[in-house]
A and B are shown apart, each in its own frame.
Chain A
């Protein structure tokens, strides 16, 4: 066990531990100290449902949201000191807003008996998460309403995230697409209403099943939603994802800690370095790296600029999808201004992959401040202008106000985070309430909506653009001097100043560059307030040059799951409005 983990061990157990131990005296609760200090407990398969139910409903300060549910193949993990035996682990991550705290419940399963009761009756959003865990690990969830593959196609063989599943195409047979295979794959895409418990007709009316997607102008990528229509009124809907699945989590187990960074850029491809941030922060937590102030401010500046970029894309497509075709061109013009700043600073545009473990790739170039200053002075006026032409347009308001409403309870039930959660009136933002990476030093407001409809979801984002520009301005005015990389042996690439002078540094440099750093064993997850909601990287290191398990929790996955709930009874056009107000990026859903 490494030093960081022992350090946590010596701390007292968190308050929730005592509460659980009092309530469940008859249940064996094994407390696992983790590097991120997130209360983690192992509970037996027979009683964990009671614990989850207690945490959600009975506790005085409940954890109403199932923030994440994922599996883990522990069969070849070596550093498991003090943990109960487990071949497959199911991990439930709950979030409490009242406590401003999370909790992780782990359930151990064996290879031959990897069945666990479903929690989809307690947390409705567990439905998709459990399907994902089944798809990726082959863990069976007893009592699940519709346990079928979600990210891989139905004809897929094996469970990709199991350690014995090949990660590279070269480890498999060469792929050939025969006639029969093509037939089979196409047939698998045919929508069968019976599989989803839908009837084809009611009385004399025969429903129409309309495939929106996988390729459709407003599906924003490869996404399919099948609408059960009575006339133009939506009776029910089945969203179907996975067309954009690239196995990012599997790649995380294959790439070195350092070389995985570019993959993160492409998770939410509209938000660039925003994805780097939780990943590198999680690795830094595992490695015990403290980054210098200048790094923090550079990161926050770039991340907030990307928030503006992403929100501009959202705003443009949102207006375009309700039929206002001009705004998208205005938005993309101003987005281009930010890209010019990124070109100057990073050389890249949409996916700069600029953050490094322990710092950023390079220092800011000369003259960056002028570019950023020009931008922060230009942008607020533009936002007001766009606000007038788009958000204050009565037709747009008629299309979006009161459409796709969900209540605060529903939002928490379905794991909605970010602007979608704040649109319901819940004032909760990780940047302020869990100030990470130096956000506590900044002055900004959290916009909150009230109705939880499509319009509010957009309006919250519009205000966030203004606030982000404010934060960027503070970064500009208060950029600290200092190094752009932490002085730590695990910083990657390591500092090079002394490599040519002493052999120890040279060896470190050589090893860290050729193999990549060896990150100490442990578990850590870091959540950031990304552009679309909360994005987490839950990394498990087994003390090697690659991650043992990389869990990427993305916001849009949760948001898409509740589409049927908020679309029922509306019209086809409203579904389009709901889709665009959700701000979907399919790469973010499918990973």
Chain B
């Protein structure tokens, strides 16, 4: 029984993450359509959601062309690395009390590690393509993601200091009285911005800036290997939203509005409901950001990272440490 339950959770999370990413491709286009005074895909099935299936079919049956000048093994492996590592990161996310694949006592570090792994997928894809646009895209992403990684991790340390644990379940439980977004507001802002950079979404989509680099690091990819990058990227958006929810917005915590029914398992449903609503809010915010912001220049992005974000993070750490010390 326990094994079945564990398997259910594992596959539930695996498939759930992919499904969320797939639906997000449709959701993003509809929301962009709404914000840009146009329709977006609205023909296939209800509200056009069938476009997701159509896109997947198309992706599966397209010729997966490997350029003759590419470094073949690495070229094939790179998208799998990116997709796989983002997928893995979902393992530590607590969706509701008891609904998680594993509650690692280093959950946060695991997440950081996996998102760093994803950089390799992007970097290797850019380098192995042996194309100039992909190379510049790969270089940009290496520089951008590595430097944003630094304070992405540091920005979470305030939360860890307060909670005294890297376990995500413990972090959520520690927010029973007050969400960390209040006490760790600076950390939240920095993590959010770093998260956008990590999932290279506009305005920080420099590795694949289409106006300059065509498609950046995945210029040479086609068919399903392009599809893997695509899904990986959308899963990245979901992942960052999910982590913002978990770490700063109390994860599953929320009023149990079905308590009057007296059915015990319904409280898990409401917990998951709150989790999903919060995550959806941040996903929508990411989409809105894409509709609203121009893209900064590469060196501007880097100096924003090192000259503003990093000092802010360090300041946050010092203040949090000071306050904690005073309290004890």
Contact B37 A398 (CB under 8 A): no
Contact A323 B295 (CB under 8 A): yes
Contact B35 A574 (CB under 8 A): no
Q: Does A583 lie at the interface of the complex (its beta carbon under 8 Å from any beta carbon of B)?
A: no
Q: Does B297 lie at the interface of the complex (its beta carbon under 8 Å from any beta carbon of A)?
A: yes
Give the residue of B32, B36, B214, B298 whose beta carbon is less than 8 angstroms from that of A217. B214
Contact B295 A322 (CB under 8 A): yes
Give the residue of A208, A329, A573, A574 whose beta carbon is less than 8 angstroms from that of B209. A573
Q: Does A399 lie at the interface of the complex (its beta carbon under 8 Å from any beta carbon of B)?
A: yes
Among B37, B38, B212, which residue has the most Cβ atoms of chain A within 10 A? B212
Give the residue of B132, B203, B212 whose beta carbon is less than 8 angstroms from that of A573. B212
Contact B299 A395 (CB under 8 A): no
Q: Does A330 lie at the interface of the complex (its beta carbon under 8 Å from any beta carbon of B)?
A: yes
| Interface hit among B114-122, B173-181, B285-293, B310-318 | B285-293
Give the CA-CA distance A261 to B37 in the complex, in Å.
Answer: 36
Chain B residues, CB < 8 A from A211: 132
Contact B298 A573 (CB under 8 A): yes
Q: Does A218 lie at the interface of the complex (its beta carbon under 8 Å from any beta carbon of B)?
A: yes
Q: Does B55 lie at the interface of the complex (its beta carbon under 8 Å from any beta carbon of A)?
A: no
Give the CA-CA distance A258 to B317 in the complex, in Å.
Answer: 76
How many pairs of residues, A versus B, come closer than 8 Å at their CB atoms?
79
Report B135 CB to chain A, min CB distance, Å. 8
Give the CA-CA distance A76 to B253 in the complex, in Å.
Answer: 89
Chain A contact patch, size range = 20 to 34
Give the CA-CA distance A398 to B298 in the complex, in Å.
Answer: 12
Contact B132 A321 (CB under 8 A): no
Chain B residues, CB < 8 A from A333: 37-38
Residue in A closest to B210 when the chains form the complex, CB atoms: A217
Contact indicator per residue, chain B 81-102, by CB within 8 Å of chain A (1) or not (0): 0000000000000000000000
Contact indicator per residue, chain B 113-139, by CB within 8 Å of chain A (1) or not (0): 000000000000000000011001000
Q: Does A13 lie at the interface of the complex (its beta carbon under 8 Å from any beta carbon of B)?
A: no
Contact B295 A326 (CB under 8 A): no
Report A399 CB to chain B, min CB distance, Å. 6
Q: Does A324 lie at the interface of the complex (its beta carbon under 8 Å from any beta carbon of B)?
A: yes
Contact indicator per residue, chain A 149-172, by CB within 8 Å of chain B (1) or not (0): 000000000000000000000000
- Docked complex: A542-576 residues within 8 A CB-CB of B: 571-574, 576
Residue in A closest to B132 when the chains form the complex, CB atoms: A210
Contact A322 B38 (CB under 8 A): no
Residue in A closest to B140 when the chains form the complex, CB atoms: A232
Among A323, A329, A572, A574, which residue has the most Cβ atoms of chain B within 10 A? A323
Contact A326 B292 (CB under 8 A): yes
Report A533 CB to chain B, min CB distance, Å. 23
Q: Does B254 lie at the interface of the complex (its beta carbon under 8 Å from any beta carbon of A)?
A: no
Contact B36 A326 (CB under 8 A): yes
Q: Does A97 lie at the interface of the complex (its beta carbon under 8 Å from any beta carbon of B)?
A: no
Q: Does B294 lie at the interface of the complex (its beta carbon under 8 Å from any beta carbon of A)?
A: yes
Contact B136 A232 (CB under 8 A): yes
Contact indicator per residue, chain A 444-458, by CB within 8 Å of chain B (1) or not (0): 000000000000000
Known: A217-B210, A330-B37. A572 touches B136 (CB 8 A): yes
List 12 A-B pairs, Cβ < 8 Å. A210-B132, A216-B214, A217-B211, A217-B214, A323-B295, A324-B293, A330-B37, A393-B294, A398-B297, A399-B296, A399-B297, A572-B212
For the complex of A and B, 3 pairs with smallest distance between CB atoms: A323-B295, A324-B294, A329-B36
